[in-house]
Every structure is written in structure tokens, then in C-alpha cells.
Amino acid sequence: MEKGSKQASRHQDKPNSQPVLLSGGNPQIAKADGDQPVQTYIAAMPGWKADAGRRLDSLIVSHVPRVRKAVRWNTPFYGIEGKGWFLAFHCLTKYIKVAFLNGASLQPMPPVESKDQNTRYFHIYEDEPFDEVLLSDWIEQASALPGDQLFK
């Protein structure tokens, strides 16, 4: 393990320490299942992104009450037990990238293409309010589809 990695790991393990922010301000959160690691990720999102993350998480929970949560690869994932994962999001420098893992099946499709033919993205920017009605519709549609089995 490189010296910098050890320091980042030790810093993250200290009680009451803030998670390390990776490139683009993405919080470094240990792999874990459940709501708590997702809330830790959201709380560590820098600036305006934390409020947007809370709104996004709240929309998902309100439209998918049985949602399952996890953090993998420093990214919160949302899914349905037994069906797989349908959504994830990630902080980048200027926006939050919301990934609909089977987004190509949504109507209308989220606007941003992916290298993966099934995945579509929606970007949330600081100065551009997002359409909660459309986002809620995508969340409901995505949660009803078979999810991605990225990890168990």
C-alpha cells in the first residue's frame, strides 16, 4: 500500500473525522451496506452538493419505500432486494452524476449517454434546479425494472 493510501485510510478511521474528498470532491467512504454509509457520504458531499444529495436521497426513499442502500467504489447505490441496483450517484467537480443503471429503458430517457448501452445519466448542477417530478418518474420506472447485479 502506498504511503498516501495509508494516511487516507488512517484519517478515515479516526472517530469524528471527515471523510477524505477525492478528485472532484467525491467523498471517500468505505464499502458498506445500509443507510448509514449513504448518509455519511451525503454529509461529506462538499458545498451545495450535500443539499442536493439529501434531496435526491429523500426522493428515492419516498418513491421506493423498500429501497436497499449501499456504498461501493465511493458511490451510493440504490436497489431492491432480489432485483438488483437501479441507481447510483457520484460527485464530480461541477455536478452530481446520477446514473440510472437501466436508464435506456426509461421514458423519456435521461439525457446523457454512457459507454454502457443500458446506462443513462442525469447531471445535477448548482445553479440549475432539477425537475423533481421528472426525476421522481425516472426513479419509479427504474425501481420497477430488473436491476443490475453489480455486487451482492
pTM for the full predicted model:
0.87
Q: How many CA atoms, within 13 angstroms, populate the side-chain half-sphere of residue 37?
A: 19
What's the one-letter identity of residue 91?
Answer: C
pLDDT range class, residue 18, cuts 50, 70, 90: confident
Give me the pLDDT at residue 152, please. Answer: 63
Exposed, middle or buried: residue 91 (CB in 10 Å: 0-12, 13-18, 19+)? buried
Tens digits of residue pLDDT in 101-118: 999 999 999 999 999 999
Q: In this structure, which topology does domain 3-144 adopt according to CATH?
A: Aspartate Aminotransferase, domain 1 (3.90.1150)
pLDDT averaged over the chain?
Answer: 90
Tens digits of residue pLDDT in 128-151: 988 999 999 999 999 999 998 887
